[in-house]
Amino acid sequence: MGRFDGRRIVVTGAGSGFGEATARRFAEEGARVLVADLDDERARRVAGGIESAGGVAEPFTVNVAEEDQVAAMIQRSVNLWDGVDVLVNNAGYSHRQKLLWKLTVEEFDAVFAVNVRGVFLGCKHVIPVMMAAGGGVIVNIASIGAVAPRPGVTPYNGTKGAVLTMTKGLALETARHNIRVNAVNPVAAATGFMKTATGQDELSAELEANLIASIPRGRLATPADVAAAVTFLASDDADFITGTALNVDGGRSV
């Protein structure tokens, strides 16, 4: 018996990094997973991998910043599997590392559109479906940068602060509908995200060493670390946990 046998899970940004590991972990534990990503080739690759391993998955192409596309993503799970038990709002990205006063309005707006509007839209469209079914779980991927920011990605960290505040407020708005809303705050990991944020194709040894030096556990986060935290929060073991954020940061924020 898997923890998520038959459950219907939608994971955004599931074509890579944390989202991919999370989608695979849910599927390994018995769930049916909608692998949603902006990049349809990635979504198909991850969903195909899950199916080859004997799991149940369906790819879906979505830009989480666009309301009609997010509505269609939730509807796809309803059409396929008659509902959504868990939504993981994981899709996100960072503007290139720069001091705040060097960023353009376009760069600022773009990161808020994906990281904040995207979470808003996911929640907005899944909550009526969950309410009608008698409950559900939402897990939002924020960042340790929301609680302990470092220089260079300030508006990005601001988007994650907004995600944490929305997580708490929404947890209160939905608690009596048997819907739980939590967040996960990962520390740095060597995913595709790092390429966008740093502009480096591979994390340089120097940057990696600097990041590791700030993490008491002495390593970066891995996609598996994040998948473990997300699936815990989505599981029945976390039934009394709502409105909180789990720091997956090797002690970086202490």
Ligand X SMILES: NC(=O)c1ccc[n+]([C@@H]2O[C@H](COP(=O)([O-])OP(=O)(O)OC[C@H]3O[C@@H](n4cnc5c(N)ncnc54)[C@H](O)[C@@H]3O)[C@@H](O)[C@H]2O)c1
Q: Which residues are catalytic?
A: 156
Q: Which two tokens stand for residue 173?
A: 């708005």
Q: Supply the minimum distance, in Å, between the C-beta of residue 134 and ligand X.
A: 28
CA distance 28 to 54: 9
Of the ranges 3-11, 56-64, 123-131, 230-238, which one interacts with ligand X (CB under 6 A)?
A: 56-64
Q: Using alpha carbons, select from 56, 231, 239 the residue that is nearest to residue 135.
A: 239
Site for ligand X in 205-224 (CB under 6 A): none
Please pick, from the candidates 26, 193, 225, 247, the single residue that binds ligand X as defined by CB under 6 A.
Answer: 193
Please pick, from the candidates 13, 59, 136, 250, the single residue that binds ligand X as defined by CB under 6 A.
Answer: 13
Please tell me whether residue 10 binds ligand X under the rule CB under 6 A: no
Site for ligand X in 83-102 (CB under 6 A): 90-93
Site string for ligand X, 111-140 (x = CB under 6 A): ---x--------------------------
Closest to ligand X by CB, 54 or 218: 218
Please tell me whether residue 62 binds ligand X under the rule CB under 6 A: yes
Q: Which two tokens stand for residue 122?
A: 């996911």
CA distance 20 to 86: 15
- Other CB atoms within a 10 A radius of the CB of residue 5 amount to 10
Please tell me whether residue 64 binds ligand X under the rule CB under 6 A: yes
Residues near ligand X (CB under 6 A) are 12-13, 15-19, 37-39, 42, 62-65, 90-93, 114, 141, 143, 186, 188-189, 191-194
